Chain A
Amino acid sequence: MWMLEIPPFTLFFIGGLIAALTQGKLRGAIMVAIPVISAMHLWTVPEGIHLQMTFLDYELVPYRADKLSLMFGYVFHIAAFISIIYSLHVKDTVQQVAAMLYAGSALGAVFAGDLLTLFVFWELLAFTSVFLIWARRTSRAYHAGMRYLIIQVLSGVILLVGALFYASETGSLAFDYIGLDSIAGWLIFIAFGIKCAFPFFHNWLTDAYPEATPTGTVILSAFTTKVAVYALARAYPGTELLVYIGAAMTCFPIFFAVIENDLRRVLAYSLINQVGFMVVGIGIGTALAINGAIAHAFNDVIFKGLLFMSMGAVLHMTGRINGSDLGGLYKTMPKTTILCIVGAASISAFPLFSGFVSKSMVMSAALENGYDWIWLMLLFASAGVFHHAGIKIPYFAFFAHDSGLRANDPPRNMLFAMFIAASLCIAIGIYPQALYSLLPYDTGYNPYDATHVLAQTQLLLFSALAFVWLNLRNMYPPELRSTNLDVDWIYRRAIPNVLAKVFAVIWQADGALRNAVTSRLSQCQRFIASKHKGLGGLLSGSYPAGNMVLWVGVLLAAYLFIGFVSKLTA
């Protein structure tokens, strides 16, 4: 029915164009239809290279489908579909168009078969998504968006340089296993790492996501980091360094998440934590681990989306998002509460919820390959996730002390979108074989054996017990309005302050030096001019013609001098 060569992103880009030109119900209908049509199309697409062209001297493959990219293609369609429904009530054309183009760029990136195409979509991801942040139209959002954009574009530029080195080393731009044994490999690795929110590169995420619009954050959380996970899975499977980076990513956000007040920022930290599990899986690199990483990415898009949606609903209805301002909302927002708890259960990997079936794959793989310490870290991280995402989010938003807010459940489209996501979470949790059959490798893994279920349930129960005990003893970090310092303090405060001071000194010195030199120079000039009155004052400084002439003279003299010197030395 459709031509096979049409890459999936085209439909979304066309959709973005239509969204820019239409309004109201028509726009809504078209926007919902596009991911559905595109997904039906994608379902029929077989593996293989579907589009190829020659550009400059390189083979470009803008459209390559294999199990890995198809898997991400499917989940991106689901995410796009859910988040479009979730944002149907939004009247803002900028957001709608940006969302379509952003989803399209993510699809373009995962189906890119060469580094140049990847670079194009990599940068498009940045440029389209930043509008979802700016659409909040606050000055905080504007600045956060700017910082986000700068870091993202930088990542793209590093990718391009890496691709360039890669092309000059291997003579090809193919986007396949790259590995870390060349400068090119490292550059591309760093580029991916920035987008993947590696430790110390992660601040764009926790900085910008919570500043986006309620609907924008849902869309943002689905694509950028997952594209990076995909890229890592494609180019660096089995790179041991990733195991340690990933383990660090699972652990350090927990501490920030526990003390953070802004609940969407808590989720942003937990996003890093979840991505950490995927990175560990890619780093281990066995069939089971890669499967786990990908399955976890798939599930994470859905349950993290669900959690962001529920917090978005709270923000949308109450206008607040700080844990200290919220509480007691379960009375008036019962449906949102239940859906949020489903999301929380999934992210905490309760048996029968989707997180359980994928996270355990990564952890089993870690044990099987002798990464015992890593396994312990992951275990700690799992407990931490349960703490900050599984309990903290629903507890402080919907229960805890009664804040006196009496907001209703959100509009129907938002509830419906959350409902779809929640159903998927449960469905995958109960019947994981459907998900497993899509994975690149066939490992015959079964998550529901006694040890797994028991271990996980124990972990969760004790962790819940800890929370209850800490809360009763008033030892749990209270929700406070505070600014928590993260690494971004270095580039948002420390470096500017130091630079400002350094530059103040430099400018002072520079000013003094300039004054001295210019006064000397003008003295010289005046002297020369007085000697050359006969020339009609050509050298007497009639700016800027005189200035330029001076430069010509200086340059001529310099060239001659350099030439003679180099001749003498030769």
Chain B
Amino acid sequence: MLAHLPILQVIVPLMAAPLCLFLNRSKLVWLFALLVSAFTCANSIFLLQQVMSSGTITYQLGGWDAPWGIEYRIDELNALLLLIISTIGTVVLFAAHTSIQKELAEDRHTLFYSLYLLSITGMFGIVSTGDLFNVFVFLEISSLSAYALIGLGKDRRALWAAYQYLIMGTIGATFILIGIGLLYQMTGTLNMADIASRLAEVNQTRTVFAAFVFLIVGVCLKLALFPLHLWLPNAYAYAPSIVTAFLAATATKVAVYLLIRLSFTIFGIEFSFSSLPLQNLFLVLGLVGIFAASTAAIYKTNVKHIFAYSSIAQVGYMIVGYAIQTPTGLMATLLHLFNHALMKSALFLALGAVVYRIGSAQLSQFQGLGRQMPLTMAAIVVAGLSLIGVPLTVGFVSKWYLLVAAVEVGMWPVAVLVLLGSLLAVIYIWRIVEIAYFKPPLPGREPVQEAPWTFLAPIWALVLANIYFGIDTRLSVQVAQAASQSLFGINP
């Protein structure tokens, strides 16, 4: 049983997804889905423990040996990602039953859970597989179900947003597929480790280089790196709240994982950073992304849009850490991956609670909510502080390491820009606080009630996690450090 943990992580939600359709009663399906994702969560904790204590786990699918069969490979990085996805997936799902009652038509509830599980399966698959083509397959599974999930929203603009996401996502996936195809052509294998070992002979060819560029651009599209971010805001803003909370916390993270895996494990650091001036490119794109997206967030009037743009900015921070190209920088990226998942899921869930009560995420509708929904708004404030990077929250920890990494290699302008970027976050969080706390309630609206406990419990669990991991950084820092060191080939 223990030996099969890697495959169980993927196969259980995959099998459970169609089963949802048989249960066909909203509450029952919810409980079932919750159970399944709780299982994956426990499973990922086991995996992480195993990896941390005894090193990388490999699993041969169906008993076929590696280059021929499909291999699952879990190291520190994979285990961290699995933990993030499964935990956030479970916590967010907890509020799903309440939330979708208002936001989805009754007959779509079963579909929703089924798609949710499929999407999570896809992400688990991408993260745990050691086979490049398998990555593409799971990428499509998770993306297709994500398009459908976004399209489920009652708002008709959701369909349009999902359609655009579909086009862009497909182009991204196609680029990735082209890249994989070119690599296969040059090396004759699809196993990541195998490709890595064979690439050395052919890595001066144009084909390999073109493969690299296709993969990078495709992944950049998936992770919404400026200027390929345009699909994201609408997709996040018009999707059902639960979907937003889930995708915002996980989807871009998986893409960042892919970027790291591709450039560090498959192509190798040397090739990745020498064949393209990736360091400068990503530094510039990351920083421009931080400023462009944060500025855009300041002027948005829909709070979901605000946080969607802020997500793009946060991706910018991760990319800056990646581009610094030192173990500390990569560690900052991984920490921010973890921390950003915590803050964004808390924020979007809290927004979901607001939408549940007032039916809108327009900033102007937030008037007076500070008094009427004190716990929900307090959660937004705390998670917002974390987003800004105030000490004692997780946001501070990752920004700190990012700054340390920048200063270590003498990129002090980067450090200053990162700090200035954080100040922009102060502005858009403050706008929400100002309207929610300092404006009287909207005239003519019935007094709004506090969100139900099914919302408050997961929201506050996440908010407390934001604070807990901001103070006790052992778990996150240790895992991130181990992962980044093993990627750089440093033995601790």
Q: Decide if B423 is an interface residue (CB 8 Å cutoff).
A: yes
Chain A residue numbers with a CB within 8 Å of B412 are 165
A549/B404 contact (C-beta < 8 A), A559-B217, A563-B213, A566-B277 known: no
- Tell me the chain B residues, 393-447 only, with Cβ under 8 Å from chain A: 397, 400-401, 403-404, 407-408, 412, 415-416, 419, 423, 426
Q: Is the CB of B213 within 8 A of A560?
A: yes
- Tell me the chain B residues, 243-284 only, with Cβ under 8 Å from chain A: 274-277, 281
Q: Decide if A494 is an interface residue (CB 8 Å cutoff).
A: no
Q: Decide if A160 is an interface residue (CB 8 Å cutoff).
A: yes
Instruction: Kindly provide the distance from the CB of B294 to the nearest chain A CB, expressed in whole angstroms.
Output: 15
- How far apart sit A55 and B396, CA to CA, in the bound complex (Å)? 12
Q: Is the CB of B473 within 8 A of A56?
A: yes
- How far apart sit A549 and B168, CA to CA, in the bound complex (Å)? 7
**Cβ 8 A contact of B220, one of A56, A157, A165, A555:** A555
Chain A residue numbers with a CB within 8 Å of B416 are 161
Q: Decide if B477 is an interface residue (CB 8 Å cutoff).
A: yes
Q: Which of the segments B54-62, B115-123, B226-234 contacts the partner chain?
A: B226-234
Instruction: Kindly provide the distance from the CB of A84 to the nearest chain B CB, expressed in whole angstroms.
Output: 25
Q: Decide if B150 is an interface residue (CB 8 Å cutoff).
A: no
Q: Decide if B124 is an interface residue (CB 8 Å cutoff).
A: no
**Cβ 8 A contact of A555, one of B228, B230, B404, B477:** B228
- How far apart sit A167 and B405, CA to CA, in the bound complex (Å)? 12
A contacts, CB < 8 Å to B = 55-56, 116, 119-120, 153, 157, 160-161, 164-165, 167-168, 544-545, 547-549, 551-552, 555-556, 559-560, 562-564, 566-567, 570
Chain A residue numbers with a CB within 8 Å of B397 are 56
**Cβ 8 A contact of B391, one of A120, A165, A555:** A120
A-B pair count, CB < 8 Å, reads 88
Q: Decide if B17 is an interface residue (CB 8 Å cutoff).
A: no
Chain B residue numbers with a CB within 8 Å of A165 are 407, 412
- How far apart sit A540 and B301, CA to CA, in the bound complex (Å)? 30
Q: Decide if B302 is an interface residue (CB 8 Å cutoff).
A: no
Q: Is the CB of A548 within 8 A of B228?
A: yes
Q: Is the CB of A556 within 8 A of B168?
A: no
- How far apart sit A120 and B385, CA to CA, in the bound complex (Å)? 13
- How far apart sit A168 and B392, CA to CA, in the bound complex (Å)? 20
Q: Is the CB of B167 within 8 A of A549?
A: yes
Q: Is the CB of B210 within 8 A of A560?
A: yes
Q: Decide if B171 is an interface residue (CB 8 Å cutoff).
A: yes
Q: Is the CB of B281 within 8 A of A161?
A: no
A556/B214 contact (C-beta < 8 A), A161-B415, A551-B230 known: yes
Instruction: Kindly provide the distance from the CB of A549 to the nearest chain B CB, expressed in whole angstroms.
Output: 6
Cβ contacts B282-293/A at 8 Å (1 or 0 each) = 000000000000
Q: Is the CB of A56 within 8 A of B477?
A: yes
Chain A residue numbers with a CB within 8 Å of B112 are none
Q: Is the CB of B230 within 8 A of A548?
A: yes
B contacts, CB < 8 Å to A = 163-164, 167-168, 171-172, 175, 209-210, 212-214, 216-217, 220-221, 227-228, 230-231, 274-277, 281, 391-392, 397, 400-401, 403-404, 407-408, 412, 415-416, 419, 423, 426, 471, 473, 477
**Cβ 8 A contact of A549, one of B171, B277, B408, B415:** B171
Instruction: Kindly provide the distance from the CB of B403 to the nearest chain A CB, expressed in whole angstroms.
Output: 5
CB nearest neighbor in A for B470: A55
- How far apart sit A168 and B175, CA to CA, in the bound complex (Å)? 41
Chain B residue numbers with a CB within 8 Å of A563 are 209, 212-213, 275-276
Instruction: Kindly provide the distance from the CB of B420 to the nearest chain A CB, expressed in whole angstroms.
Output: 8
Q: Is the CB of B228 within 8 A of A55?
A: no
CB nearest neighbor in A for B407: A168
Closest 6 pairs (CB-CB, A-B): A559-B213, A548-B230, A556-B217, A168-B407, A545-B164, A545-B167
Chain B residue numbers with a CB within 8 Å of A167 are 404
A164/B407 contact (C-beta < 8 A), A116-B391, A563-B276, A566-B277 known: yes
CB nearest neighbor in A for B221: A552
What are 14 pairs between A and B in contact, CB < 8 Å? A55-B473, A116-B391, A120-B392, A165-B407, A168-B408, A545-B163, A545-B168, A551-B230, A559-B276, A559-B281, A560-B210, A562-B281, A567-B209, A570-B274
CB nearest neighbor in B for A169: B407
Q: Is the CB of B228 within 8 A of A551?
A: yes
- How far apart sit A547 and B407, CA to CA, in the bound complex (Å)? 37
Q: Is the CB of B167 within 8 A of A544?
A: no
Instruction: Kindly provide the distance from the CB of A116 to the nearest chain B CB, expressed in whole angstroms.
Output: 7
Chain B residue numbers with a CB within 8 Å of A567 are 209, 275
- How far apart sit A568 and B461, CA to CA, in the bound complex (Å)? 54
Chain B residue numbers with a CB within 8 Å of A549 are 167-168, 171
- How far apart sit A116 and B392, CA to CA, in the bound complex (Å)? 11
Chain B residue numbers with a CB within 8 Å of A552 are 168, 171-172, 175, 217, 221, 228
Instruction: Kindly provide the distance from the CB of B319 to the nearest chain A CB, expressed in whole angstroms.
Output: 14
Chain A residue numbers with a CB within 8 Å of B391 are 116, 119-120
